[in-house]
Amino acid sequence: MDALQVQTFLPATNEFLESVVRLAPRVAAFDCDGTLWSGDAGERFFDWELRQGGIVSEALDRPLRDRYAAYRRGEVDETTMCGEMVTMHRGVSELKLMDAAFRFFDQFYDGQVFPEMRELVRRLHENGCEIWAVSSTNEWVIRAAMKHFGIPESRVLAAKVEVDNGLATDRLVRVPSGSGKPLALRDVVGKEIDAAFGNSRWDTEMLAMAKHSFAVNPNPDLEITARERGWTIYFPEATRARG
């Protein structure tokens, strides 16, 4: 598709919603951070839990922050860092982590949710669509967030470790980032993805596997890719208001 033919929805929120609903997708996959809400909840939760203390050992604070600084300098790859932001909770009660995740999301991110994306998920649910949340953020935060979208925990594919006797381990189950997103969808869902939604280059492979691809609130690099590949581009109203 020529770049001039790419659908870019700016003021027409209803037009965007209707364009997706008309496709009647049976299975849809949504990235979370930056797509369903503004900002990176995984990164902020990492900082928040270290600042407030009481979740992971205080002795880990400096080493973890140094490690994250190395990641920001490009010395640690994305998948490795996202995995370490989960395995750092080894020995912590999952109940404690879920309680923290609920408190965190309700305090900092409920107001960051894009209303039209919440409405889109609602409409797709109403039409019988099977919806999956796919994220490299830790599973606890994403599970807490999905309560705001009516997506069950069983349809969350996020950075995850094994849990033994109620305690988190450092044994990774998955880290859905980049190529890990379609891998997780193929392994767990095992169905054709009719529609996929993402905002960053880490979502490119997931968008490419879907019959219909939507770049929502795309970072500049994903926007370029979306235009090259003819994917629909949508900027939520809240992002336009800030611009």
| Structural domain count of the chain | 1
Tell me how crowded residue 11 is: count the other CB atoms within 10 A of its CB: 10
d(CA 124, CA 120): 6
Please tell me the predicted confidence (pLDDT) of residue 10.
Answer: 53
Domain containing 20 equals: 3-242
What CATH number should be reported for the domain holding residue 191?
3.40.50.1000
The per-residue pLDDT string of the chain (243 residues; one tens digit each, 9 = 90 and over) reads 344 456 665 547 899 999 999 999 999 999 999 999 999 999 999 999 999 889 999 899 999 999 999 999 999 999 999 999 999 999 999 999 999 999 999 999 999 999 999 999 999 999 999 999 999 999 999 999 999 999 999 999 999 999 999 999 999 999 999 999 999 999 999 999 999 999 999 999 999 999 999 999 999 999 999 999 999 999 999 887 544
